[in-house]
């Protein structure tokens, strides 16, 4: 690794010692950038990396709300506007008790390179709150969203910053957030939020986009490996929005997800989550707010493994699609022992750095990085922004074909750049190098404005 990268990493560790998730992603990304950074000694003089690891702006605010019993609660809200060099800030909002500044910064940093990979003009941001929508009534979620937006609105706009959903924020929350934004702004400025309902400017395929995009990426991997998706078994974790899109597209293409998971454990369904009834039931489980995957096992009479993760099942493909750091060394060792060939990250940073390195060191394993694999969500959000600007809606075929084409391009572009730098079929390094280069070029061209 270059001396410059080493120095910046050491400084980041010192400055952000209490932000483990942020340090983890910075270490992972910077650890792959030497081929470009070494070829550009001019980066050091203008402190390009030092600027890239510091958010342009971090907003932290109080979110008071009243529950159904009249009791007031206070949560903490965040928006981290990480890097706006290639476009307005763009990235989702996460509502989960685990949300803190470290998690917001890791997600904003990742989002910057992911958005660059999509080829669309979007900078990187992330936001959210330590509010847990699970177990809350609709009215409580609405009051929370209204209070959250009452502060957030002054920091966002169609050319400034465009939030969307992420973990814990789906169509319902986006509706409430946009309703309050419209009220405060006094204008139908729907290009400020994506993931909206169809009746007020949402794009077709946005709910499915992250999962569909991930499967399109897997198709491109299969093509590279002279293999096919049809007939493959897949271990999926999570049962939320992204897992749902994955299951739908896999079923359509003749493969099957055989596991789903939640905080309570995982289910194993040997027939696959392939029928319309099972796939639709995932939506019901998510909407119930119970956050329990055991309900699937009870309804369809399949095995439930309480307190366990699904990664030890012998399958053809593993796709973690729930939380960060779901896969540690113990899970990685099980996958290797099972002879797994395809490890496809979907959730943001689902793998610890030591487990990721271990998996990447296996000669017969293909490892695909989340910032490329899950880019379909923000990509269709970008297409939603285009449609809102045009005041026009594209058809499902138009959106889906753009999604398919760009996801294939993300895979092929990452593979090509990794080969060019002599790294072989290294999709992790390839994605980082492609994502970084565009942001670096834009920052260099814009001077030391930030």
Ligand X SMILES: NC(=O)C1=CN([C@@H]2O[C@H](COP(=O)(O)OP(=O)(O)OC[C@H]3O[C@@H](n4cnc5c(N)ncnc54)[C@H](O)[C@@H]3O)[C@@H](O)[C@H]2O)C=CC1
Ligand Y SMILES: O=C(O)CCC(=O)C(=O)O
Residues that are catalytic? 126
316-355 residues near ligand X, rule: CB under 6 A: 321-323, 347-348
* Residue of 166, 219, 316, 345 that binds ligand X (CB under 6 A): 166
203 touches ligand Y by CB under 6 A: no
124 touches ligand Y by CB under 6 A: no
| From the list ligand X, ligand Y, none, partner contacted by residue 432 (C-beta under 5 to 8 A by kind) | none
Q: What residues contact residue 315 under an 8 Å CB cut-off, 6+ apart?
A: 233, 234, 235, 258, 259, 338, 340
Both tokens assigned to 69: 């019993």
* Backbone CA torsion sign across 225, 231, 232, 238: positive
Q: Which among 318, 311, 275 has a CA at the least distance from the CA of 296?
A: 275
| From the list ligand X, ligand Y, none, partner contacted by residue 167 (C-beta under 5 to 8 A by kind) | ligand X
Q: What residues contact residue 18 under an 8 Å CB cut-off, 6+ apart?
A: 102
Label residue 415 exposed, middle or buried (CB < 10 Å: 0-12, 13-18, 19+).
Answer: buried
Contact by Cβ (8 Å): 179, 409: no
Q: State the pairing for strand pair 342-344/233-236.
A: unpaired
Q: State the pairing for strand pair 72-83/123-129.
A: antiparallel
145-164 residues near ligand Y, rule: CB under 6 A: 164
Query: Residue 204 or 251: which CB sits closer to ligand Y?
Result: 204
* Residue of 191, 262, 312, 435 that binds ligand X (CB under 6 A): 262
| From the list ligand Y, ligand X, none, partner contacted by residue 194 (C-beta under 5 to 8 A by kind) | ligand Y
* Residue of 112, 116, 194, 388 that binds ligand Y (CB under 6 A): 194
Query: Residue 91 or 312: which CB sits closer to ligand Y?
Result: 91
Stretch that binds ligand X, among 117-125, 227-235, 240-248, 358-366 (CB under 6 A): 240-248
242 touches ligand X by CB under 6 A: yes
Stretch that binds ligand Y, among 22-30, 88-96, 274-282, 337-345 (CB under 6 A): 88-96
239 touches ligand X by CB under 6 A: yes
| From the list ligand Y, ligand X, none, partner contacted by residue 352 (C-beta under 5 to 8 A by kind) | none
- Beta bridge partners, 64, equal 74
Rounded distance between C-alpha atoms, residue 90 and residue 141, angstroms: 23
Rounded distance between C-alpha atoms, residue 246 and residue 346, angstroms: 10
370-409 residues near ligand Y, rule: CB under 6 A: 374, 377-378, 381
Interface contacts to ligand Y, rule CB under 6 A: 90-92, 111, 114, 164, 166, 194, 348, 374, 377-378, 381
């Amino acid at each position: 690794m270059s001396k410059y990268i080493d120095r910046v990493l050491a400084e980041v560790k010192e400055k952000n010692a209490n932000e483990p998730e942020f340090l983890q992603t910075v270490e992972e990304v910077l650890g792959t950038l030497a081929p470009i950074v070494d070829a550009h000694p001019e980066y050091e003089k203008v402190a390009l990396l030092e600027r890239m690891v510091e958010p342009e702006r971090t907003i932290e605010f109080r979110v008071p709300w009243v529950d159904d019993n009249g009791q007031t609660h206070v949560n903490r809200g965040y928006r981290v506007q990480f890097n706006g060099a290639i476009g307005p800030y763009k990235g989702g909002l996460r509502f989960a008790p685990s949300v803190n500044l470290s998690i917001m910064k890791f997600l904003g940093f990742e989002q910057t390179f992911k958005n660059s990979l999509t080829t669309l003009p979007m900078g990187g941001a992330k936001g959210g709150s330590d509010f847990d929508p699970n177990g809350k009534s609709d009215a409580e979620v609405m009051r929370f969203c209204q209070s959250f937006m009452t502060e957030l609105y002054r920091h966002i706009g169609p050319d400034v910053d465009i939030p969307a959903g992420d973990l814990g924020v789906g169509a319902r929350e986006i509706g409430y957030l946009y309703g309050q934004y419209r009220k405060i702004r006094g204008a139908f400025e729907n290009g400020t939020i994506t993931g909206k309902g169809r009746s007020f400017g949402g794009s077709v395929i946005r709910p499915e986009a992250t999962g569909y995009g991930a499967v399109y990426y897997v198709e491109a991997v299969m093509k590279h490996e002279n293999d096919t998706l049809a007939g493959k078994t897949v271990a999926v974790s999570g049962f939320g929005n992204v897992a749902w899109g994955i299951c739908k597209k896999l079923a359509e293409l003749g493969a099957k997800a055989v596991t789903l998971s939640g905080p309570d454990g995982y289910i194993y369904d040997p027939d696959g989550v392939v029928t319309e009834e099972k796939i639709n039931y995932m939506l019901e489980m998510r909407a119930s707010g119970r956050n329990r995957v055991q309900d699937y096992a009870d309804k369809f009479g399949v095995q439930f493994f309480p307190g366990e993760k699904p990664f030890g099942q012998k399958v053809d493909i593993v796709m973690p699609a729930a939380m960060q750091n779901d896969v540690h060394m113990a899970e990685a060792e099980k996958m290797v022992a099972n002879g797994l060939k395809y490890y496809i990250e979907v959730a943001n940073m689902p793998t610890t750095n030591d487990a990721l390195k271990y998996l990447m060191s296996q000669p017969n394993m293909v490892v695909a990085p989340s910032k490329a694999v899950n880019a379909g969500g923000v990509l269709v959000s970008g297409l939603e922004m285009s449609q809102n600007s045009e005041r026009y809606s594209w058809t499902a075929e138009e959106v889906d074909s753009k999604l398919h084409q760009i996801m294939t391009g993300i895979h092929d572009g990452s593979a090509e750049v990794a080969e060019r730098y002599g790294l072989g079929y290294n999709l992790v390094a390839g994605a980082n190098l492609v994502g970084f280069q565009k942001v670096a070029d834009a920052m260099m061209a814009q001077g030391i404005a930030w």
